[in-house]
Chain A
Amino acid sequence: MQALTNKAQAVSRKPMTFLERLYLINIIKGMMITFSHMFKKQPTIRYPEQKREFSPVFRGLHVLNRDEDGRERCTACGLCAVACPAEAITMEAAERVEGEENLYREEKYAAKYEINMLRCIFCGLCEDACPKDAIYLSETFAPANFTRKGFIYGKPDLLIPNPKTEASAFAEAKGVEA
């Protein structure tokens, strides 16, 4: 049979010499490789205490934004839901009644807004689609859990703290500028 490349090597069937049969030299060679890694830079970090810096384009958990007066920006227009390739976003719209002007920015608002984090693929298309600057992907990821129940994120989980009424929580959530 003709070889396709000239890289093929015939298997050597020679019996091992005495030194080779001892295996000692090869074991020491291997140990040297292992030992040399003790002086090299560690590629791993001690995760829960230390954390890696995220890339500026990292797409993590969603937040629902408020405007500077603390009113919810989302008007339940459904563009995030229609853009979502995983169909993770669902919502229920309602009309703003008198007296709710300080809660909601527009005439219509999302009475319920849910993101199924089990379905979400964190592609960020909802952020792209939003005409009201209402949804953003933050720099945190969804915490692990043993059951599926905690992964349906509703409005209480997603909304950012109100900058007017919960100023300290808002400042904490905002974090420090890197």
Chain B
Amino acid sequence: MSEQTFFKVTVDGITIEVPAGTTILQAARQIGGQVAPPAMCYYSKLKGSGGKCRTCLVEVSKGSEKDPRPMPKLVASCRTTVMDGMEVKNITSDKVIDARAGVVEFLLLNHPLDCPICDQAGECHLQDLSFDHGKSKTRFEFQKRTFKKHDLGDNIQLHMTRCILCYRCVFTADQLTNKRVHGILDRGDHAEIATHIEKSLDNEFIGNVIDVCPVGALTDKTFRFKNRVWFLKPMDAHRDCPTCSGRVTLWNRGDEVYRVTARKDEWGEIEDTPDGQPGWICNTCRFDKKEASDWVIEGPRAISRASVISQGHYQGSVGMHKPTETFLAVNGGRAPHLLMDIHDESEVNQPTIHLGKIQGPSHGNTFNNKN
């Protein structure tokens, strides 16, 4: 094996040694925390991704040891490789903060901001990005663009208005499936994700476009409007799947499986399996295995404390442990006299309705509504 050269790079005053050929973004991610620039289009598991959204812009204040001149403009850290002795400023640079606020403003120009409706809310990268780096007001006074609705089949719901054209789903289809049927049609303001003409996405691995989508443009139709992600209980689980790794996160409500996704790491990317391959999951695991008995549950998923999903979420051994009912023991074996059973009165969370088993979104008649 040939000697690998290592470069010293300093990001926000923290020095790290990385192999030559590493991008600034990857080096910053190795340091971790706030030093890592946000990325909307770059996805380390997809070859060729990155360089489109400009959210990962950083300032290079010193080019390298041999040529210490700073780079004249901010550079996209996902596409720029490190040089020896390079000094990078991310959150310590006012120029970067200002540029990033501008990028967020542009990304949100045509974004409908329908977060109250969107299923991605709570785990949306654009939400996090605008919360961390954006301004609270828009200066855009015009009509936002709208699109003709395209149907992408039974499992994947496309909301083109929310799309930020990161191309991640296109790369996913290219690299995971043998024939890509969707892509970006038209250009400029008219550019949109679509199939030509009205095909449904039905490759066995195409469901992964839902996981790579940084916004709510591609969402799971089998989970559509079922519940908000922060009311669900993410659990690591696996099953013996012949086509994929079978390592997933289950999003449960009680013991009911509402949604299945791949496991995502702290950068929102799909986690590697123990053998070092990206843990893409197949459509069967994602859309069809909605029974708790299909899965071997490993335990509650670790969720960042900063995420809204961590509300009401118990991790570690606490999350695995079901609280025992102590009333009978302390009351001499007599059952409590209930003044009211909530299910007699309440029409919500009825034990007879299993939302996880309904294929598509629920409608008024699902809940015996007369409307």
The chain A residues found within 8 Å of chain B, CB to CB, are 75-79, 81-82, 90-95, 97, 100, 103, 106-108, 111-114, 116, 131-132, 147-149, 152, 154
Q: Quick check: B231 and A81 within 8 Å, CB to CB? A: yes
Q: Kindly list chain B residues whose C-beta atoms are within 8 Å of the C-beta of A107.
A: 117
**Bound: A1/B88 CA distance, A:** 75
| A82-B308, A94-B367 known; A75+B117 contact, CB < 8 A | yes
**Bound: A108/B118 CA distance, A:** 9
Q: Quick check: B371 and A77 within 8 Å, CB to CB? A: no
| A77-B115, A112-B348, A132-B116 known; A92+B340 contact, CB < 8 A | no
B293 within 8 A of A: no
| A78-B231, A82-B311, A148-B339 known; A90+B116 contact, CB < 8 A | no
Q: Kindly list chain A residues whose C-beta atoms are within 8 Å of the C-beta of B364.
A: 94, 97, 100, 111
The digit string for B334-371, where 1 denotes a CB below 8 A from any CB of A, is 00000110101111110000000000111110110101
The segment from B74-82, B222-230, B278-286, B314-322 that touches chain A is B222-230
Q: Quick check: B348 and A82 within 8 Å, CB to CB? A: no
Q: Kindly list chain A residues whose C-beta atoms are within 8 Å of the C-beta of B360.
A: 95
Q: Kindly list chain B residues whose C-beta atoms are within 8 Å of the C-beta of A75.
A: 116-117
The digit string for B112-152, where 1 denotes a CB below 8 A from any CB of A, is 00111100010000000000000000000000000000000
Nearest A-chain residue to B361, judged by Cβ: A95
Distance (Å) between the CB of A69 and the closest chain B CB?
A: 16
Interface size class of B (residues with CB under 8 A): 20 to 34
Q: Quick check: A82 and B366 within 8 Å, CB to CB? A: no
Distance (Å) between the CB of A14 and the closest chain B CB?
A: 58
Q: List 27 A-B contacts (CB under 8 A).
A: A75-B117, A76-B225, A78-B228, A78-B230, A82-B311, A90-B346, A92-B347, A92-B349, A92-B367, A93-B226, A93-B362, A94-B361, A94-B363, A95-B224, A95-B225, A95-B360, A95-B361, A97-B363, A100-B371, A103-B371, A108-B117, A111-B362, A112-B367, A116-B346, A147-B340, A148-B340, A149-B340
**Bound: A82/B224 CA distance, A:** 19
Q: Kindly list chain A residues whose C-beta atoms are within 8 Å of the C-beta of B339.
A: 147-148
**Bound: A131/B116 CA distance, A:** 7
- Residue in A91, A113, A147 whose Cβ sees the most chain B Cβ within 10 Å: A91
**Bound: A93/B116 CA distance, A:** 11
Q: Kindly list chain A residues whose C-beta atoms are within 8 Å of the C-beta of B308.
A: 82
Q: Kindly list chain A residues whose C-beta atoms are within 8 Å of the C-beta of B347.
A: 92, 112, 114, 154
Q: Kindly list chain B residues whose C-beta atoms are within 8 Å of the C-beta of A154.
A: 347
In the complex, besides A94-B366, A112-B347, A113-B348, 19 extra interface pairs with C-beta distance below 8 angstroms are A75-B116, A76-B225, A77-B117, A77-B121, A78-B228, A82-B308, A92-B347, A92-B349, A93-B225, A93-B227, A95-B362, A97-B364, A112-B348, A114-B346, A131-B115, A132-B116, A147-B339, A148-B339, A149-B340
Q: Kindly list chain A residues whose C-beta atoms are within 8 Å of the C-beta of B227.
A: 78, 93
Q: Kindly list chain B residues whose C-beta atoms are within 8 Å of the C-beta of A92.
A: 347-349, 362, 367
Give chain B interface residues in 219-262, CB to chain A under 8 Å.
224-228, 230-231
**Bound: A74/B311 CA distance, A:** 22
Q: Quick check: B228 and A94 within 8 Å, CB to CB? A: no
Q: Kindly list chain B residues whose C-beta atoms are within 8 Å of the C-beta of A147.
A: 339-340
Q: Kindly list chain B residues whose C-beta atoms are within 8 Å of the C-beta of A113.
A: 348
Q: Kindly list chain B residues whose C-beta atoms are within 8 Å of the C-beta of A95.
A: 224-225, 360-363
Nearest B-chain residue to A78, judged by Cβ: B228
**Bound: A70/B158 CA distance, A:** 29
- Residue in A95, A103, A132 whose Cβ sees the most chain B Cβ within 10 Å: A95
Distance (Å) between the CB of B307 and the closest chain A CB?
A: 12
Distance (Å) between the CB of A142 and the closest chain B CB?
A: 15
**Bound: A152/B366 CA distance, A:** 21
Q: Kindly list chain B residues whose C-beta atoms are within 8 Å of the C-beta of A103.
A: 371
**Bound: A42/B56 CA distance, A:** 70
**Bound: A81/B230 CA distance, A:** 10
**Bound: A116/B116 CA distance, A:** 22
Nearest B-chain residue to A92, judged by Cβ: B348
Give chain B interface residues in 265-283, CB to chain A under 8 Å.
none
